[in-house]
Amino acid sequence: MNARDDFRPLDDTDRRIIQATQAGLPLAPRPYHAVAEQLGVAADEVMRRMQRMLDLGIIRRIGAVPNHYALGYRANGMTVWDVADARIDELGERIGQLDFVTHCYQRPRHLPDWPYNLFAMVHGRTREEVEAKAALIADALGTASRARDILYSTRILKKTGLRIGA
Partner 1 sequence: MDDLDRALINTLQGGFPICERPYAEVAARVGSDEATVIAHVDSLLARGLLSRFGPMYHAAQMGGALSLAAMEIPPADFERVTEIVNRQPEVAHNYARDHRLSMWFVLATETAAAQQDAIARIERESGYPVYNMPKIREYFVELKLHV
Instruction: Give yes or no for residue 22 binding partner 1 (CB under 8 A).
Output: yes
Pick between residue 3 and residue 27 the one whose CB is nearest to partner 1: 27
Q: Whose CA is closest to 96, among 88, 74, 58?
A: 88
Pick between residue 4 and residue 155 the one whose CB is nearest to partner 1: 155
Q: Which 88-107 positions form the footprint of partner 1 (CB under 8 A)? A: 88-89, 92-93, 95-99, 101-107
Query: What DSSP state is assigned to residue 10?
Result: P
Interface region with partner 1, contact rule CB under 8 A, candidates 129-137, 140-148, 153-161: 153-161
Coil, helix or strand at residue 127: helix
CB 134 within 8 A of CB 148: yes
Q: Phi/psi at 77 (nearest 5 deg)?
A: -110, 125
CB 71 within 8 A of CB 123: no
Instruction: Give yes or no for residue 146 binding partner 1 (CB under 8 A).
Output: no
Instruction: Give yes or no for residue 126 binding partner 1 (CB under 8 A).
Output: no
Coil, helix or strand at residue 11: coil
Instruction: Give yes or no for residue 73 binding partner 1 (CB under 8 A).
Output: yes
Instruction: Give yes or no for residue 84 binding partner 1 (CB under 8 A).
Output: no
Report, in Å, the least distance between residue 135 CB and partner 1.
Answer: 19
Instruction: Give yes or no for residue 86 binding partner 1 (CB under 8 A).
Output: no
What count of other Cβ atoms lies within 10 Å of the Cβ of residue 18?
18
